[in-house]
Structure 1
């Protein structure tokens, strides 16, 4: 999907309308991201005269090093839409307004480094800090607990190893180590399934409390990664499949586009 986007043309060449739409689409898509290393956009419209009636066959985008909401980086992202009914007058104004919803197939690639940096993002940290629950209160004497220093190592077959620390009032920092299998629920939530506590890296005197903390952290993670929290205005993201490949995590899915967002 990533190959062949750059420099593609319709059989009749790229006329002024397509050039204008390519320019507007590139600008619009770039503005969805806080930062980008590269963004390539290609409009398919044949015959090109259909563009004047606001009809295009598809819009393709591929990008690298895209940063969402200032803190979430993707190594690669690509999508290709279905046919689009476009308000061509909006293109003349430097905007993209679609007349009816459309869908796009999409692929997103995260590196292991990207995933670990995301755990330092404010949006994620807020869900891991100052946590209170009946189960955790038994371990902390009623004081809130924070999980810090989360480090993920991707493994084959959609598995990962996770290491973290829990800050307890009396014990101080307690290390946690566990192994999980990644899965998708209802196409929008990332689950940490079949999680197993790994005691080998934990001091023997802390293993019992560390295992209880690992169970609590697993529950928090399973309620945290929901795509609806990251949707762009007018765009709903869904995942059909995910897989680990070396040091990368690859998501394949689709986007339901109600309107084209004009701001990040």
Structure 2
């Protein structure tokens, strides 16, 4: 009976757990424009419990994940326990949760990822909402570096309003997480001429109100970070992801 049911699924001649793993992988893939590696391993013992929509858990490992916004994640790992799914939806190649789930999470962002993110139209548009002396700011050639002492250095050429002259901004700071959801720059030092120092201080003040992780979370996901580490030219975020739903499988 079980083999007959699983044989009728979108991936015939495979075990039920592998079938569900492939469907979950496809659902998560819809969140990304491109990925270097993306793998989901669904655990169910005995496999027959899948017929009731009960899954012991699943592990998700992704590398080189490019979001549709242009933001890139070097690595992401999610570990989920006790998942209840709508088994009938598997027949259509979709994953539907019967209830929200919580996953242990590890996310790694490289210096290159962070630099590229600050130069995407997605984040540039958000940065333009920053006002200095009543004027919007336009960032160009932004570079994000992680220093050996685990501080960060953010440099950028910033134009204020309609001015064609850029002001060099050079910010060094420590990073910390506030209320598990907001990344802040602390212990800040701004280098450069007086105009650059003044603008750098204003940029930090506004960035600390802008870098809310909920604005950058994947579809149907809420991120809460318990620990942020800077090492080996990477920013590591450890915490939990609250997942309300999986996206429909789309050919994006």
Give the TM-score taking structure 2 as reference length.
Answer: 0.86
Which of these residues, 141, 144, 165, is aligned with residue 157 of structure 2?
165
1:94 and 2:97 matched: no
Residues 103 and 143 of structure 1: is their aligned pair in 2 closer, same or farther, counting only changes over 3 Å? closer
1:59-90 Cα deviation digits (max 9, x unpaired): 11101110112401111111011200111111
Which residue does 1:224 correspond to in 2? Answer: 210
Q: Which runs of 5 or more residues in structure 2 are unaligned?
A: 1-12
Which of these residues, 225, 239, 243, is aligned with residue 253 of structure 1?
239
1:219-253 Cα deviation digits (max 9, x unpaired): 12112211111233322111111111111111111
Alpha-carbon shift at residue 183 of structure 1 (Å): 0.6
Which of these residues, 180, 183, 194, is aligned with residue 187 of structure 2?
194
Conserved? CA contact 1:157–1:244, under 8 Å: no
Which of these residues, 177, 186, 196, is aligned with residue 210 of structure 1?
196
Q: How does 1:1-264 map to 2 (within 5 A)?
A: 16-129=15-128, 131-132=130-131, 136-137=132-133, 144-156=136-148, 158-168=150-160, 172-198=165-191, 202=192, 207-262=193-248
Q: Which runs of 5 or more residues in structure 1 are unaligned?
A: 1-13
1:63-122 Cα deviation digits (max 9, x unpaired): 111011240111111101120011111112211111111110111111100100001111
Partner secondary structure for residue 34 of structure 2: coil
Q: Distance in 2 between matches of 1:145 and 1:25?
A: 41
The total of aligned residue pairs comes to 237
**RMSD between aligned alpha carbons?**
2.1
Partner secondary structure for residue 106 of structure 1: strand
Higher strand content, 1 or 2: 2
Give the TM-score taking structure 1 as reference length.
Answer: 0.83
Partner secondary structure for residue 82 of structure 1: strand
Conserved? CA contact 2:130–2:203, under 8 Å: no
